[in-house]
Copies of this chain bind each other. A is one copy, B any other.
Amino acid sequence: MRIEDVARLAGVSPITVSRTINKSDQVVEETRRAVQKAIDRLGYIPNRLAGSLASTRTRVIGLVISTLYSNIFAITVRGMTDTLLTAGYQLSLGVSNDLLEVESAHVRSFLGQRVDGVCLVGGIHDRLVRRALLQSGVPVVEINNLVSDPIDMCVGYSNEEASFAMVRHLANCGYRRIGLVTAPTENNDRSQARRAGYRRALAQLGLPFADSLIGTAPYTVAQGARAFASILSLNPDLDALFLTQDNAAAGAILEAKRRGVRVPGDIGIAGFDDADIGQEMVPALTTVRTHHYEMGATAARMLLRRIDGGAPPHPVVDVGFEIIPRGSTRPPPA
């Protein structure tokens, strides 16, 4: 079924049907109603492949997130879709599972589909993909970090400063032997920045460092529990652990409970992202709050503005972060 079938039934030309669908204000009410009736009667669904090929616009934004295991991206995605839908744009979602080649495949696919904009997590991407993006001229926004050399635009927060601030907070609460758990650092600039902030804070505060104080745990409660167990066994004098993901931090709290380690008395635990689980833990989780809804909405707005031909006022937007002290760490001295 084609636009022509609808046109015939409605007694108009194909272009009038097209206008009814896409720019209904250019069609007089009566014609429009007749066309709409024909569309409904036939159950006609326009072929967007053809439409986009002719118009060179898809009204689709491609987003590649790194994981579905952390529900934190749910909020960013809502921020983006809320903004995009209002403007008549759609989101196409890819999941990379933190693999650079999977991200590349998604981006290539997006470019092949001729999306009108692309959103990626972080600043580390395949060299060729970067080139392809630049060459294609599509607006690109990188999120979740402050990228030093963005492909195009960027909205996020400083993972290094956030990590630095949390470690300083822990030290202020009296913790001295502080461990760190992040997602793998390979091709992940957020994890790299969080480690850098941690190291810088330890150095500045004169706190002890050892390789055995650092561990790795992607996204899940179980992995956080294991990371906690392993770091504790290597560092019997550990007195705080900062896991830069709330699920993992929740896992650490649970593992502590299982071992009879008191939190925050024996060991303080801190997380990152202010996910919903943190507030519910017993004790509630001290964390870094970041602003994911705002970040998603801003990313969408920046893309839309660039699509409309304008340059955004700030190519790099910092949405900031806050330290949220809760019961999983000792209170700071008054």
Mark A residues whose CB is within 8 Å of B. 43, 45-50, 52-53, 58, 67-71, 73-74, 77-78, 81, 90, 92-95, 97, 108-109, 111-114, 128, 131-132, 135-136, 220-222, 225, 247, 250-251, 254-255, 257-258, 276-277, 279-282
Q: This chain: how many copies in the complex?
A: 2
17 intermolecular pairs with C-beta atoms under 8 Å apart: A43-B131, A43-B132, A45-B111, A45-B132, A47-B53, A48-B113, A49-B58, A67-B74, A68-B71, A70-B71, A77-B95, A78-B97, A90-B109, A92-B93, A93-B95, A221-B277, A250-B280
Of chain B, the residue at the smallest CB distance from A90 is B109
Check A73–B68 contact: CB distance below 8 A.
yes
Check B135–A43 contact: CB distance below 8 A.
yes
Mostly, the A contact residues are helix
Check B71–A112 contact: CB distance below 8 A.
no
User: In this complex, which of A45, A92, A132 has the most chain B Cβ atoms within 10 angstroms of its Cβ?
Assistant: A45
Given A53-B49, A71-B71, A280-B254, is A92 in contact with B95 using a C-beta cutoff of 8 Å?
A: no
CA distance A52 to B48 in the complex (A): 11
Check B73–A71 contact: CB distance below 8 A.
no
Q: List, in ascending order, chain B residues with CB within 8 A of A251's CB.
A: 280
Nearest-neighbour CB distance to chain B for A214, whole angstroms, equals 22
